[in-house]
Amino acid sequence: MPKKKLALIGTRGIPAKYGGGETLYENLVRGLAGRYDITVYCCREQPRVEGDSYLGARLKYLNIKGNGWQSVVYDCASVFDAARYADILYVFGPASAIAIRLLRLFGFRKPIVMNCGGLNEWEREKFSKPAKAYLKWGYRALKGKVKYLADNELYASSLKEEFGITDIVVIRYGGDNAVKVQPDTELLSKYPFLNDEYYVSVSRAQIDNNLHMVLEAFAAMPERKLVLVSNFKVSGYGQNLYEQYKDVPNLTLIPGIYDQMELNAVRSNACAYIHSHSRCGTPPSLCEAMNLGLPVFSYDVEVNHEVTADNAIFFSSAEDLAAKVRQSGPEVLSELSSASYGHARKELTWDHIWGQYVSLFESMTAGK
């Protein structure tokens, strides 16, 4: 029997570079390419992979930008193209709502799964008022036309309260793709801080990820070292932070590490992880940190409590973060590490997540 065709739509594409959607798609391909014939749509900014294939998936490049208002054009074009051949369409976010509505209007009946992205996506500070309005319209417009997927229970509840959406499946992210790396001479030469005690944080440079808060906290603690890895150059917010803090002696700002082994080395040899996101659902970077056994200092919002099962130290401001870092000695961090790792290995592994996706896709295509 031929494999069912699965199209993954609505991210920049793979290989992933920090984005939650891209990271999800890369790991879905890693686990499901043996079972499904997968195509991943890639935008103009995504560097082209030789052979247009990655981890067993076909990469289809569209000459359209994948962010800003053009993301609507990009997602819609991807949906229309995938509708010609795919058995299952998986879209990230509601940017393609116009295309999906039109397809359904003209009798398209193939299953479509929509991952709803981060918590209350329509409220994120990085979006303009028109973008927020379009996102809210998209969620409402697709009721009854897609299978909604949220990555945590709180977001599922939010969608129900805001839009009356009840047909929601919850599937989280895995994080055991991150593995501990013992630094060799070459790595130590490139990243000399690996010899030291340091804290680490990895996230995209957008305001609701609160990089400014983390940098302010550690700038006030010259005795503590912070390594912050982010795509600083992609936004004015990131560029301004980089210029403001790049010369602070105890701060190491790295504008991107795209080699997975190097990134794992930088993360896994830290003494703790700083998670500052406020609007993500189940952030891949947090799942990976927990699977690495890192004790976590997390921004104090309800969704982060849910993802970590309260196995973290929570902060609400730069001053609060600095105080709690100073108060947390080796014994506290060791206990937190054990609890965090135990929770991750139970709930946040890819074997567990892949099985949930197979069950979802098979239930939607049964008899077809």
- pLDDT value of position 193: 97
Number of domains in the chain: 2
Within-domain flag for 201: yes
Residue 180 domain-assigned (yes or no): no
**Beta-bridge mates of residue 43:** none
Query: What's the pLDDT tens digit per position in 38-84?
Result: 999 999 999 999 999 999 999 999 999 988 889 999 999 999 999 99
Residue 199: inside a domain:
yes
pLDDT-based confidence at residue 30 (cuts at 50, 70, 90)? very high
Q: Are residues 357 and 335 in the same domain?
A: no
Q: Among 119-128, 170-179, 332-341, 349-358, where is mean pLDDT lowest? A: 119-128
| Among 172, 204, 183, CA closest to 291 | 172
Instruction: Say how far apart CA 102 and CA 328 lie, in whole Å.
Output: 55
10-45 b/e with 16+ CB inside 10 Å = b? Answer: bbbbbbbbbbbbbbbbbbbbbbbbeebbbbbbbbee
Question: Do 329 and 189 belong to one domain?
Answer: yes
More confident residue, 119 or 112: 112
Distance CA 250, CA 266 (A): 16
Q: Is residue 179 part of a domain?
A: no
Same domain, 60 and 198: no
Mean model confidence pLDDT for the chain: 93
CATH of the domain at 19: 3.40.50.2000
Q: Residues 70, 51: one domain?
A: yes
Are 18 and 151 in the same domain? yes
Shared domain for 107 and 234, answered yes or no, is no
Please check whether residues 265 and 319 belong to one and the same domain. Answer: yes
On whether both 144 and 13 belong to a single domain, the answer is: yes
User: Residue 19: pLDDT band by 50, 70, 90 thresholds?
Assistant: confident
Are 215 and 288 found together in one domain? Answer: yes
Amino acid in position 136: K
Range of the domain at 162: 4-174+349-365
Q: CA neighbours within 13 Å on the CB side: how many for 37?
A: 9
Residues 12 and 137 in one domain: yes
Residues 49 and 164 occupy one common structural domain: yes
157 with 210, same domain: the answer is: no
